[in-house]
Amino acid sequence: MRYLSLLLGIVVFIEGCAAAGAGGSRGRNIITQEDLATTQAITAYDAIRDLHPQWLKARGQTTGASSLTPLLPTVFLDGTRMGSIDLLGVYQVNDIEEIRYLDAAQAGIRYGMGYPRGIIEIISIR
């Protein structure tokens, strides 16, 4: 009986953590078309600023860092490296299916090393 109560407590705890970690419709590292429809955003930059502004903040060491190390995430469009975060103002929300943030570890797995501040990946409507 004691073990059953413990097991039930663990299950309830895990369920609570999973629910608390989910933001938006699918999580804290993704913006879907449903999420985009809830904003007045016109560009990807506007949408991220409204829904996940933390993606637009410098990460890690910001002083004394090599001038070759970006302070912000790199932008990708449909799996292709586009460049700096400034490009987010070019992409119109109406053309976007999803926007994802990949941290440095996820970016390294998917695109290789060299993205210490992560990646903001735009998936366009095809």
In a domain, 84, yes or no: yes
Q: What is the CATH number of the domain that holds 43?
A: 2.170.130.10
Mean pLDDT, residues 53-63 taken together = 75
Residues paired with residue 121 on neighbouring β-strands, in sequence order: 76, 100
In a domain, 95, yes or no: yes
pLDDT of 67 strictly over 60: no
Sheet holding 80-83, edge to edge: 30-32, 96-102, 119-124, 74-77, 80-83
In a domain, 13, yes or no: no
Helix (H, G, I), strand (E, B) or coil at 73: coil
Buried b (16+ CB within 10 A) or exposed e, 49-62: eebbeebeeebeee
pLDDT of 69 strictly over 70: no
Predicted structure pTM score? 0.72
pLDDT band at 3 (very low <50, low <70, confident <90, very high): low
Q: Which has more pLDDT, 69 or 124?
A: 124
pLDDT of 40 strictly over 80: yes
pLDDT of 6 strictly over 60: no
Domain count, the chain: 1
In a domain, 41, yes or no: yes
In a domain, 6, yes or no: no
pLDDT, position 122:
98
In a domain, 36, yes or no: yes
Mean pLDDT rounded to a whole number for the chain? 81
Torsional sign, CA 101, 107, 109, 111: positive
In a domain, 34, yes or no: yes
**Contact present, 83 and 37 (Cβ < 8 Å):** no
Q: What is the CB neighbour count within 10 angstroms for residue 32?
A: 18
Range of the domain at 48: 29-124
